Chain A
Amino acid sequence: MALLEQDYLILEALQGGLPLVAEPYKVIADQLGMEEAFVLERLNDLLDNGTLKRFGVIVRHHELGYRCNGMCVWEIPIERIDEIGHAFSQYDFVTLCYERNKCFPDWPYNLFCMIHAKDRTHVLQHVDQLVRENDLADVKRDILFSTRRFKQRGARYNDCRPADVASLQRAAQ
């Protein structure tokens, strides 16, 4: 799944969002000195090969009434992690589901899922459902409710092109 040099430029140009004009891909293409057809072809390929999970409207949960977000963390036995990870991803209230490294002594949890809901009660109900339907009553878990959102934006991919990474690494040496 090697990315082309141009892919980084296209994704970088899209960071602020697709322009809201009649021919937005042409605007991006013109900015980058590329053909519109090429930009469209690359976005198609990046979706096909899984580099992009999706392309479309990115909503802000909080502003749409899903004001509560609970990061639920679980200490799943390693032999069940794939089963549970895949199972959790099927629930429509789960918006992220990752396996992460444990970090002893403070952090025994290896599975993370984000639950967005209208309030705390709903998050707790969803967690109960996950426990019940996946036989997790004995699994250590915690829910970290967010109390303030300091910053939320898309990732920036400036300096991520292979050429930039190489030059940054040289500069750091």
Chain B
Amino acid sequence: MAFSLLIVRTRSACKMMDEIDKHLLNDFQRGFPLCSRPYLEVANRLGIDEDEVIDRLSRLKDSGHVSRIGAIVKPGSIGASTLAALQVDEDKIEQVAAYINARDDVNHNYLREHDYNMWFVLNTSSKAALDRAVQEIEEATGLQVLVLRMLKDFHLDLGFDLKWHS
């Protein structure tokens, strides 16, 4: 029941999205205009008004389709970060997740199908702060943190082609 409701809701959300929304989502993931009136420039490219661009982006942000208009920083160029994982017993998952999610230095946290089932990204100001954070997490959870530091970033990140037509 809950599942079918979810599908209905998703479908109606998709229906509300028209061609212009699709262009807004797909075509401006990089090279967003760096000028005084960026939304006007976007508007001109899409043949609509500046206000409409702002309204649509606000709506797409409210609906969760857009996280934000912002910068993707190359990993390693600011502060120190790492991917980390924990092996959490089934009955402790909620408790450990609540602790990890509440940390300000965690920006992603996913449950995954593996013995190491909780995967998160730690972002701190320095290598020393990162080591301290790992130690804190180990003390708080009583679990050993698997620390998987990035050695090389191969991906250019040109944005994600949403392939509306496939």
A residues at B contact (CB < 8 Å):
1, 3, 8, 11, 14-18, 20-26, 36, 40, 43-44, 46, 50-61, 63-66, 69, 71, 81-82, 85-86, 88-89, 92, 94-101, 103, 106-107, 110, 112, 116, 142, 144-157, 159-160, 164-165, 168-169, 172
**Distance to closest chain A CB from B135 (angstroms):** 12
Set B35, B39, B77, B123: member contacting A40, Cβ < 8 A: B35
Contact A89–B32 (Cβ < 8 Å): no
Q: Is chain B's binding surface mostly helix, strand, loop or mixed? A: mixed
Contacts of B115 in A (CB 8 A): 106
Which of B58, B108, B149 has a CB less than 8 Å from the CB of A151? B108
From A116, A142, A154, give the contact of B160 (CB < 8 A): A116
Given A51-B77, A112-B83, A157-B79, check contact A59 B38 (CB 8 Å).
Answer: no
Closest to B32 in A: A56
- Residue with the highest number of chain A CB atoms closer than 10 Å, among B97, B120, B125: B125
Out of A55, A64, A97, A112, which one reaches B34, CB within 8 Å? A55
Name the one of B58, B114, B119, B155 contacting A89, with C-beta atoms under 8 angstroms. B155
**Given A60-B64, A150-B109, residue A160 in contact with residue B78 (CB < 8 A):** yes
Report chain A residues within 8 Å CB of B67.
17, 58-60, 152-154
Residues of A within 8 Å of B112, CB to CB, are 71, 144-147
Distance A65 CA – B25 CA, assembled complex (angstroms): 13
Task: Answer whether A58 and B162 are a contact pair too, CB < 8 Å, given A22-B40, A95-B155.
Answer: no
Q: Are A103 and B148 in contact (CB under 8 A)?
A: yes
Q: Which 10 A-B pairs have the closest CB atoms?
A: A17-B68, A85-B154, A56-B32, A54-B30, A148-B111, A99-B152, A144-B112, A18-B69, A150-B109, A151-B109
Across-interface contacts of A51 in B (CB, < 8 A): 73-74, 77-78
Cβ–Cβ < 8 Å partners of B25 in chain A: 57, 59, 64
Given A20-B58, A51-B77, A147-B113, the answer on whether A56 and B154 have CB atoms closer than 8 Å is: no
Residues on A with beta carbons closer than 8 Å to the beta carbon of B58: 20
Chain B residues proximal to chain A, CB less than 8 Å:
10, 14, 24-25, 28-32, 34-40, 50, 54, 57-58, 61, 63-75, 77-79, 81, 83, 97, 100-101, 104-116, 119-121, 123, 125-126, 128-129, 132, 146-162
**Chain A residues closer than 8 Å to B120, beta-carbon distance:** 151
- With A60-B66, A112-B83, A168-B125 known as contacts, the answer to whether A36 contacts B149 (CB < 8 A) is no
> In the bound complex, do residue B29 and residue A99 qualify as a contact, i.e. CB atoms below 8 Å apart?
no
- Whether the Cβ atoms of A11 and B148 lie closer than 8 Å is no
Give the chain B neighbours of A86 by CB distance below 8 A. Answer: 154
